[in-house]
Every structure is written in structure tokens, then in C-alpha cells.
């Protein structure tokens, strides 16, 4: 299928574009850029947006049936359209998470744990960037430096919430809600993975126990069969002697 081949080819270029975007956006937010440096960072950010736009258009053209693919991939459309608005540009990194998710989908459990750890780290870092970008210039803001935003992101994703730093803008609060939901979802993945491991270990022990029991039953059956054979031999000899004596 042409679309499947294209998606396989595009995975790494999209991942690279997402990483380049992350680097440019981080440089822009943490450095609080202005002038020519800000212009360069914005140019890089828009170039990565063009890569995601091209990928979406090519997928739409290659999809069969096209309308069904469009209806079932609304999130992909939002990832392309919404980041044109500065506050929502971090949605582009959902592409990176999507690629990682496809890679981990059929992976071993240990690789899934690595994926979850990476996703959690990325989520904290992105939330720190986003909340700093939205809060820094707001009146009465408490999150005005990157260390402050990182601390806020860590305590928020863990649902501790010390309250020493909190967003004052609507966008900052929306980011907080997304971070808390993301943290709960990642915790659920870790819990499910641990439960799966425990179930697998219990099933393995039960299977080993059943195998041992079946082996013992087979051995006992062989011993009973041998005992029957041993008991049948004298009887067979007596019957043979009786037949011989009768002929005489």
C-alpha cells in the first residue's frame, strides 16, 4: 500500500523535524529572544510546520478511501492547523510521540518502560516551556524563569502541587490540566505494565506447576502399567500350565 510505504519512509524525517522544532522553540523561550535571533528561530519553527503540512497532504492524497481517512484522522489535521497559533504550536510534538508510540506498540515490555520514561520527560520539559512562554509576561505571574517552570512541571505531573508556583493565565491553567492528565495516563501505563508482568509470572509458575503435575501423572501411570504387567505374568504362566495338564 502506497500510504503505508510513505508513512514508513516519513517516520524518521518527521521525528527529525519535531526534534529541530523542539530545539528552536526551547532556544526561543529559554533565551527570551528578540531581534534577528528571534527571526531565525521563528523561521526554523515555520519550516518544521511546513514538513508536517506536507506529510498530511501526502497522506490525504494517498489514502484510500480518502474521505474515511480524513474523518478518522482529525487529530492529524489539528496538529497541522492549530500550531499556526503560537500558544498551540507544541502540538507539533504529538507527531514525535506518535512515532515513538508506533515503535513501542509491538516492542518488548522493557522498551515500553523506556518509551514511558521518555514520554514523561518530554511532557515535563514541554509543559515547562509552554507555561513559561504563556506566563512570563503576565501581570502577577509567579513563573518567570525556566527553573521555576521546571519545578512547577515536576510537582504538577506528580499531583503534589505545593502551590509555591501556579499559573495565572487561562492558557497556563489549560497547560496544567493537560500536564496532570498526561501524568495520570503515564502512571496508568506503568501500572498496567507492572500488572501485566505479574500476571505473566503467575501464569508461568502455574504452567510449570501443571507441567510437573502432568509429568508425575505420566510416571505414575507407567508404574501402574508395569505393576499390572508384573501381576499378569504369573497368571499367564498358571493358565498355560493348566492347559498343558489338561491335554495330558
What's residue 215's pLDDT?
A: 66
Enter the DSSP assignment of 108: -
What's residue 121's pLDDT?
A: 84
Compute the distance between CA of residue 125 and CA of residue 133 in angstroms, rounded to an integer. 12
* Long-range contacts of the stretch 23-32 (C-beta < 8 A, 24+): 24/48, 25/89, 25/90, 25/129, 26/125, 26/129, 29/129, 29/132, 29/133, 29/146, 30/129, 30/132, 30/146, 32/136
Position 14 pLDDT exceeds 70: yes
- Asked whether the beta carbons of 129 and 90 are under 8 A apart, the reply is yes
Q: If you average pLDDT over every residue of the chain, what do you get?
A: 76
- The Cα diameter of the chain in Å comes to 127
pTM above 0.75, yes or no: no
What's residue 42's pLDDT?
A: 84
Q: Residue 238: which pLDDT band, with cuts at 50, 70 and 90?
A: low
230: left (phi over 0), alpha (psi -120 to 50) or beta: alpha
Greater pLDDT, 111 or 101: 111
Could you tell me the three cell numbers for 180?
496532570
pLDDT tens per residue, range 116-155: 777 788 888 888 888 888 888 888 888 888 999 999 998 8
Q: Residue 86: which pLDDT band, with cuts at 50, 70 and 90?
A: low
Provide the percentage of residues in the chain whose pLDDT is more than 70. 70
What's residue 245's pLDDT?
A: 53
Could you tell me the three cell numbers for 125?
520539559
Domain boundaries, the chain: 1-105
Which of 75, 81, 121 has the alpha carbon at shortest distance from 98?
75
What's residue 105's pLDDT?
A: 47
Compute the distance between CA of residue 149 and CA of residue 178 in angstroms, rounded to an integer. 15
Amino acid at each position: 500500500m502506497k500510504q503505508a510505504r510513505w508513512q514508513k519512509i516519513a517516520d524518521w524525517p518527521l521525528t527529525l523535524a519535531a526534534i529541530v522544532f523542539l530545539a528552536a522553540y526551547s532556544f526561543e523561550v529559554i533565551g527570551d529572544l528578540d531581534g534577528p535571533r528571534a527571526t531565525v528561530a521563528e523561521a526554523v519553527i515555520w519550516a518544521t510546520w511546513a514538513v508536517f503540512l506536507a506529510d498530511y497532504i501526502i497522506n490525504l492524497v494517498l489514502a484510500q478511501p480518502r474521505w474515511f481517512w480524513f474523518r478518522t484522522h482529525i487529530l492529524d489535521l489539528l496538529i497541522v492547523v492549530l500550531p499556526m497559533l503560537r500558544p498551540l504550536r507544541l502540538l507539533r510534538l504529538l507527531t514525535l510521540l506518535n512515532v515513538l508510540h508506533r515503535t513501542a506498540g509491538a516492542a518488548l515490555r522493557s522498551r515500553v518502560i523506556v518509551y514511558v520514561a521518555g514520554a514523561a520527560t518530554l511532557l515535563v520539559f514541554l509543559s515547562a516551556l509552554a507555561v513559561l512562554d504563556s506566563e512570563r509576561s503576565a501581570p502577577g505571574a509567579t513563573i518567570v524563569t525556566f527553573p521555576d517552570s521546571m519545578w512547577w512541571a515536576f510537582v504538577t505531573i506528580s499531583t503534589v502541587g505545593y502551590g509555591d508556583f501556579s499559573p495565572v493565565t487561562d492558557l497556563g491553567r489549560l497547560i496544567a490540566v493537560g500536564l496532570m492528565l498526561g501524568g495520570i495516563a503515564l502512571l496508568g501505563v506503568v501500572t498496567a505494565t507492572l500488572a501485566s508482568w505479574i500476571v505473566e509470572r503467575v501464569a508461568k509458575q502455574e504452567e510449570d506447576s501443571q507441567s510437573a503435575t502432568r509429568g508425575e501423572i505420566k510416571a505414575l501411570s507407567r508404574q501402574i502399567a508395569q505393576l499390572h504387567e508384573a501381576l499378569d505374568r504369573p497368571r499367564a504362566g498358571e493358565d498355560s500350565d493348566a492347559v498343558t495338564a489338561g491335554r495330558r
